[in-house]
Structure 1
Amino acid sequence: MGDHNSLTPIIEEEDRHVLALAAPRQIMKAVEERNCLTDALKKTLMDLESQLSAFVAIPHINSQELSEFEKRLKKAEEKFLHWESKELMIWDSGPVEASKYLKAIEEIHSLIENIQGLSADEYGKQKKELLFRANSVLQLAMSRLEEELIQILLRYKQCVDPGSMSFRLFGADQVVYDEYSFASIEEESSEVSSERNSNSNSNSNESEDYYVVDLVHPLAMPHLKSIANVMFASNYGDEFCQAFTNTRKEAFDDYLVVLGLQKFSIEDVHRMEWTSLNSEIKKWNWIMKIVVRLYLASEKCLCDKILGEFGSSGSFCFLETTMATMACLLNFGVAIAIGPRSPEKLFSFLDMYDVLANLRNNIDALFIEDAGCVIRNQFHEILKSLGNLAKTTFLDFGNVIASNTSAYPFSGGGIHPLTRYVMNYIKTVTDYGDTLNLLLKDQHMECSNPEIEFEDKKSISSSTLSPTSLHLLSITGILKSNLENRSKLYNDEALQHVFMMNNLHYMVQKIKNSKLELLFGDEWIRTQKSKVQQHVKDYVRATWGSAVSLLRDDIRVSHSLSKRSSKNRCKAFTTAFEEVYKTQTGWYVPDLELREDLQISTSQNVIPAYRNFVERVSVKFKISDNYMKYTVDDLEKHLLDLFEGSPKLLHNAFTCRK
C-alpha cells in the first residue's frame, strides 16, 4: 500500500508528460484531414513538438540527478564517518590510505560543483540541503587534515645541534670584563687575545651565508604539500596556515630552550649584576647568530617549499612563526640599549653591535616583504641605539679617568690600579678599532685636548690618525696628567719620582709590542723612556744627594778635616743610609728590569763615593774597617734590597767607635 502511494505522483507526472507531447501531433492530424496543412505550418508544429519534448524531459532528468547526488553524498558521509571512527591517523595507515582519503575529498569537491549546477528556482530547497550536507562533510575532512598536518609536523620535526655547525660566534670564550678586571689582569692570555683577533677579522669579512638545514624531515614534505594543496583548493588555506604556524611556533620555543635562552623583561635585565648580565650578553650574541642564520633561514626555506605556490602565504606563515622569537631576542637588545653604561661595558656593547651589524643584510633579506617591516625596523633601531651607546661610552672614558681622584697617595709608589685599568682598556680597544672608527666617522675630533702633552702632539700627526687613534692619544694624555697630580700627594720627593717612573714605564711596556705601538710610534715611546730615566736621576738626587755629600771632601777645607769629623761623617752617612733602607725597602718597583736599572744607578752614585771615603779615611787617619759599620760589600748588598715592597731593618753588631 505504501509503495503504491509513493508511485502515484510519479505516474501522474508521466501522464501529463505524454499528453503534452501528443498535442502537436493531434493538431497536425486534424489539419491534414481538412487538407489545410502547409509546409510552413507543418514545420512550426514539428518545432513545437521538439521543444515540448525537451521541456517535458527536464524535470525527469533533474529528478534522476538529484537522486544520484544524494546517493553519492550519502556514500561520502559514510566514508568520512568511518575514517573518523578510527583512532589511527590516516597518514600513519600508509600511502594507499592517504591517497584514498585525498581522492574522497576530490569526490566531495566534484559533488559540490554538481549540486551547485542545479537550478535554484526549481530545486532551491533540495539544493540548499544537499550543499549544506556536502560542505559539512568537507569541513569534517578539513578538520581531520588539520590534525594530520599537526601530527606530521610534530612527528617529523628535527632538532639541530648548533655545535655541529661550521661557524662559531666570536666572544664565546672571551674574558668577562668588570670594573676591576682591567686593573687586576696583568696580561691577557695569548690564546684569548689571538682568538678574539682572529674572530674579529673573520667577522669583518663575514659573508651573508645562510646555514639551511631540514627542520622537518624530507620524508614528510610530500605529505605536507599534498595537504596544503587540498586545503587551499578547498578554500581552507587560512586554516592550514593557522595550524602550521601554531605548531612551528612551538618548535621555535623548543629551539630556544635547547639554545639556553631565558626570557627576561627589561626590568629583569636592569636589575642584573654586571657579571651575570655580561654572561647573558655573550649567550645572546651566540643565540642571535644561530637563530637568524640557521633557524630563520631554514624556516624560510621550509615555508617556501610547502607554500611557495600560494602567493604570500609562505611569507605570512614565516612571519607568524618567527615573530615571537625575534621579539624575545630584540627585547633583550632594547633593554641593553636603554640601560646604564660604564667603561667596562663598552666591549660587550661593541660585541652586540658587531653581531647585529653582521646580521643586518640577513634580516633585510629574510623579512623583505612589507609585512616584515616591523621586525626590520626594530632591528635597525636597536643596531643604531647600540652603536650610539658604544660611541658615547667610549668618548666618555676620558672624563671617567679625569674624575678618578683621591686625597691619599698610593702606598709604596708602585703601579697605580688606574694605570693598569686604562692601559689594559685601551689595549683591548684596538681589537675593536674598525667598529669604533665606523661609529666615530662623523664625530668631530681633533688632537687638541689640553691634557695631551706637547711631546705627544709633536710626535704624532693628527691629520693621519683615525678617530679612534685620536681619542686613545687623548686618553693617555689625561692619564699622565692624573698621575702627575697623584704623585704630588707624596710628601717625599723621591717617592714622587719612583711613582712616576713606575707608571710611565708600565705605559711604555703596554704600548710596545702591541697594536698600540703603531699608533703611538717610536718617537712617543722614546720620549716616555727618556722621562722615565729623568725620574730615575731625580730619584737618585733627591734620595742620595745629601748623604753622598757627606762622603765627599770640600777641596777648600779638606786640609782641615780631622779624625773626629771623619767619624762624624761616617756616623751621619750610616744613619742616613739606614733610614733610606728602612723606608725604601717598602717602596715597590714591580718591573725587574726597571728595578735593576734603578739599583744600578743608585750603586753607581753611592758605592764609588763610599769606597773612596773609606779608603781615604783609612789611609789618612788609620781608621780600620772595624770602625766602619758597613763595608763596601755590605752597602752594595743592602742596596739590592730596595724597592721590593717589604720594609726591612738592618741588624749589624758593629758600630762606629768614638
Structure 2
Amino acid sequence: MEHLIQTRDLLKTTLHQSTQLDSQIHQTTTNLSRINHTIHSSKSQIANTACISAIHHHLHRALPPVSAVFNVYQMVEELESILSDHQPFPNLHHHLSLIKKFRQALSLLTNTSKLAILWVEDINTTMADIDNIYHSNVSKTLRILKQLHGYEERSFSKHGTLGVAFENLKHEFTNLLIDNSFPIQVPSSLFSSGDDESDVFDPIPEALPLSIVENLQDIVSCFACNNLMDVCILDYIKIRGTIVNRSLEGIDLDYLDITLTEFDSVQEIEGYIDEWGRHLEFVVKHVLELEYTLCANVFGKYIEVNALTDCFYKTAIQSGIQGFIKFANTVTKCKKEAIKLFKLLEIFAILNNLRQDFNIIFGGKNPCSEIQSQTRDLIKKVVNGACEIFRDLTSQVNLQRLTDPPPDGTVPRLVIFVTEYANELLDDDYRFELEQVLKIQSSWDNESKFTNGLVYIEVQNIMKSLELNLETWAKRYDDVSLSCIFLMNTSCYLSKHLKGTKLGDLMGESWINKHEVHVQYYTSLYLQKSWGKIKIQAMSNERNKIKGFNDVFDDVYKKQSEWVVCDRDLRWKTCEKIMEVVIPIYKSLVESGDTRSPNRFSPNKYVKYSVETLENMLTSMFRSKLDKYGSSNKSTTLIGKIKNVVVGSFSPTSTVT
C-alpha cells in the first residue's frame, strides 16, 4: 500500500513537472519567434549597413562632379541671361565673345554632367535593392543631371538661346554683305572698238572694305566652330551671285546666244568676236577674280578646299561664263574659210592670255571640273580648226587655178586677198599664235620634232602657188596684148605693194626686183603687140593713109577700152608710151595731107580726130569704171569691198577670180 502511495505521489510530482515544462516550452517558443524576427531585422540592418559602407567610396568621388555641374549651370544661366538681351549690332565683337563664352560654358556643362552621371549611375545601380530615402534622392539627382546634360542640345533648337543667337548672327552676316556689296562699274573701254591705245580697264576696287571682310571672317569663324557653315554659305552665294549678275547688266551679251551652222560664215559674227574677247577678259580678270579672292578671304580658313571651290563656282556661274564658252564653240562650228583662221587665232590668244587666270579660279575639283572640261574641249577645237585651215591654204590657192582670169586684165581679187592675208599671217601677233597652235597640235600628235619657221615655209609655198596661177591665167587670154596687161598689173602689184612689207621681206629683194623687171618687160611687149605695127598697117592703105590709121586705131582702141591698168603711175606711163608711138604718126599723116585730094590744103574728110582729141582718148585708156565715173579716192573702199567678197568666198567649196 505504501508502495502505491509512493507511486501516486511520484506521478503527481511528474505531472506537475510536466505542466511546468510545457509552460516553459511554450514560453521558449515565443521567445524563439521573437529572437528569430530580431535576427532577421538585424540581418537587414546589417545588410544596409554593409551596402552604405560599400557605396561610401562612390559617394566620395561623385559629390565633386555633381557639385561642379550645379556651379557650371549657375554660370550658364548668368551668361544666357546676358546673351538673350544682347544683339550683334552695333558691337559685333562683344556679341561674338558672349556667344563664345556661352558656348564654352555649355560645353563644360555637358562634359561635367556626363562625368557626374557616370558616378551617380554606379551609386544608383549599387542601391537598386535599397528601398529608402537615399535611393530616391540618388535617382532624382540622376534625372536632374541628365536634363542638364541635354541643355546644350536644346540651346541649339530654333527657339533655344543659341538658336536665336545664331539666327541674329546670320541676319548680321547677310546685312553686312547686302549693305556693302555693289556691282562693278563697267569700264567705258568695253563699249569702244577696242583699238585705242588707251583702251585699258580702270583699276577695280576691292570687293568689300577690309573692315567688313574681317567682320565676316569673325562671323564665319563662329559658325565654323559650331558646325553651322552651311547657314552663311547659302546666303553668301545668293547675295554675291546677284552682285555678279548685276555687274554685267550694263553689257549687252545677247550675242552669246547666237547659233550658227557649218554653212554659215564667221563674217556674220566677226564683230562680236572682238566684243567677246574684251567681255571675257573683263569677266575673268576682274569680276571672277574679285569673287574668287573675296570667297577665299571670307571662308578660306574655315572650310575645306572642295567646299570653297563649290561656293565660288556657284557664285561664278551667275556671270554666264559657260555662255562665253558656248559662243566660242559656235565660231569653231562655222564654215571652214580663210578668214576663220584669224578669228580662231584671236580666240586662242584670248584663252591663252587667260589660261593662268582660269587655272587659278577654276583649278579645283568638282564642280569646277565641268568648266575645265568645257575649256579643254574648246581649245582642242580651236587648235585643230586653225591648223586644218592653215595647212589647206596652199591647196585652196591651187584650186583657184581652174577658174578664168579677169576679162579686163586687172589684178585678180585672189591676188589682193592672198597677199594681204599672208601679210596678216606674218604679223607678229598672228604668227606667234599660229606657231603656238601648230606646236600644240604637234605635241598632241606625238611628233618627235617640230619644224620651226613652219609659218614662213607655208607662206612661201602659198606665194609660189599664186605665181603659178598667174602664169596659167595669162595663157588663157586669146589676145596676147591682154595677157601682157594682166601680167603688167599683177607684177606691178606684187612688186609695188609688197615692198617694205613683212611678206615682201620674206620673199626677198630679188623676188621684188624680178617682178619690177616683169613690169617693164610686159609693158614693152604690150606696146609692141598692140601699137608697134600701127604705122605699117596704116601705110598699107594705099587709097587713104589717114583712113587706114583710123581703121586700125579704132579697132585697137575699141578692143582695149574695157581693159584696166590698176596702178595709176603704171597707167600714166603706159598711156604716155602709147602716145609716143601713135601721136607722131598721126600728126605726120594729118600735116602731110592726102596726095590724092584735089585741094592739097583743104581739110581731109578722113580726118576723124584732132590731135588733142586723140591725146585725150589715149590718156583716158585703162581706167576702171570707178576712175571714169567716180572719185579715185574711193579706190581704198573698193579694195575693202573686194577683200570682203574674197574672204567670204575663199573656202573649200568655192572659187574666185
Give the structure-2-normalised TM-score: 0.69
Which residue in 1 is equivalent to 2:642?
none
Which residue in 1 is equivalent to 2:603?
626
> Among 249, 253, 257, which residue is 2:249 paired with?
257
Q: 1:148 to 1:414 in 2, by over 3 A?
A: same
Which residue in 2 is equivalent to 1:132?
153
> Among 408, 411, 417, which residue is 1:412 paired with?
408
Which residue in 2 is equivalent to 1:515?
502
| Deviation string, structure 1 residues 428-462 (Cα, Å, up to 9, x no partner) | 22221222233335899xxxxxxxxxxxxxxxxxx
> Among 371, 388, 391, which residue is 2:387 paired with?
391
Shift of 1:59: 8.8
Which residue in 1 is equivalent to 2:486?
499
The separation in 2 between residues aligned to 1:466 and 1:332, in whole angstroms, is 32
Shift of 1:354: 0.8
Which residue in 2 is equivalent to 1:537?
524
Shift of 1:401: 3.2
Contact 1:487 1:500 in 2 (8 A): yes
Shift of 1:351: 1.1
Counterpart secondary structure, 2:622: coil
Contact 1:551 1:569 in 2 (8 A): yes
> Among 43, 54, 57, which residue is 2:60 paired with?
54
Q: 1:487 to 1:272 in 2, by over 3 A?
A: closer
Counterpart secondary structure, 1:327: helix
1:356-435 to structure 2, matched below 5 A, reads 356-370=351-365, 372=368, 374-376=370-372, 378-404=374-400, 410-431=406-427, 432-435=430-433
The separation in 2 between residues aligned to 1:465 and 1:524, in whole angstroms, is 23
Query: For residue 68 of structure 1, what is the amino acid of its counterpart?
Result: Q
> Among 346, 349, 355, which residue is 1:354 paired with?
349
Count of residues paired in the alignment: 532
Which residue in 2 is equivalent to 1:306?
298
Contact 2:545 2:589 in 1 (8 A): no
Asked whether 1:173 is paired with 2:193, we answer yes
The separation in 2 between residues aligned to 1:111 and 1:231, in whole angstroms, is 17
The separation in 2 between residues aligned to 1:52 and 1:469, in whole angstroms, is 95
Contact 2:394 2:462 in 1 (8 A): yes
The separation in 1 between residues aligned to 2:543 and 2:65, in whole angstroms, is 150
Asked whether 1:238 is paired with 2:257, we answer no
- Once superposed, what is the RMSD of the aligned Cα atoms? 4.2
- Flag structure 2 segments of 5+ consecutive residues without an equivalent: 1-44, 122-141, 443-450, 629-657
The separation in 2 between residues aligned to 1:526 and 1:599, in whole angstroms, is 23
The higher radius of gyration belongs to 2
> Among 594, 610, 620, which residue is 2:570 paired with?
594
Which residue in 2 is equivalent to 1:603?
579
Which residue in 1 is equivalent to 2:437?
439
The separation in 1 between residues aligned to 2:452 and 2:108, in whole angstroms, is 82
Which residue in 2 is equivalent to 1:328?
323
Shift of 1:65: 4.7
Contact 2:110 2:148 in 1 (8 A): yes
The separation in 2 between residues aligned to 1:300 and 1:571, in whole angstroms, is 90
| Deviation string, structure 1 residues 634-653 (Cα, Å, up to 9, x no partner) | 433431121124699xxxxx
Shift of 1:264: 3.9
Give the structure-1-normalised TM-score: 0.69
Shift of 1:214: 0.7
- Flag structure 1 segments of 5+ consecutive residues without an equivalent: 1-22, 28-44, 84-89, 175-191, 203-208, 445-463, 554-564, 649-658
Which residue in 1 is equivalent to 2:104?
110
1:443-482 to structure 2, matched below 5 A, reads 466-482=453-469
Query: For residue 237 of structure 1, what is the amino acid of its counterpart?
Result: M
1:181-192 to structure 2, matched below 5 A, reads none
Counterpart secondary structure, 1:440: helix
Query: For residue 358 of structure 2, what is the amino acid of its counterpart?
Result: I
Contact 2:257 2:323 in 1 (8 A): no
Contact 1:211 1:294 in 2 (8 A): no
Which residue in 1 is equivalent to 2:41?
none
The separation in 1 between residues aligned to 2:391 and 2:69, in whole angstroms, is 89
Percent identity reads: 22
Contact 1:589 1:644 in 2 (8 A): yes
Which residue in 2 is equivalent to 1:576?
552
Counterpart secondary structure, 1:542: helix
The separation in 1 between residues aligned to 2:64 and 2:263, in whole angstroms, is 82
Contact 1:423 1:510 in 2 (8 A): no
Q: 1:414 to 1:78 in 2, by over 3 A?
A: same
Between stretches 268-277 and 574-583, larger displacement belongs to 268-277
1:547-558 to structure 2, matched below 5 A, reads 547-551=534-538
The separation in 1 between residues aligned to 2:294 and 2:575, in whole angstroms, is 74
The separation in 2 between residues aligned to 1:59 and 1:480, in whole angstroms, is 103
Which residue in 1 is equivalent to 2:339?
344
The separation in 2 between residues aligned to 1:52 and 1:355, in whole angstroms, is 77
Which residue in 2 is equivalent to 1:185?
none
Which residue in 2 is equivalent to 1:640?
619
> Among 260, 270, 273, which residue is 1:278 paired with?
270
Contact 1:353 1:386 in 2 (8 A): yes
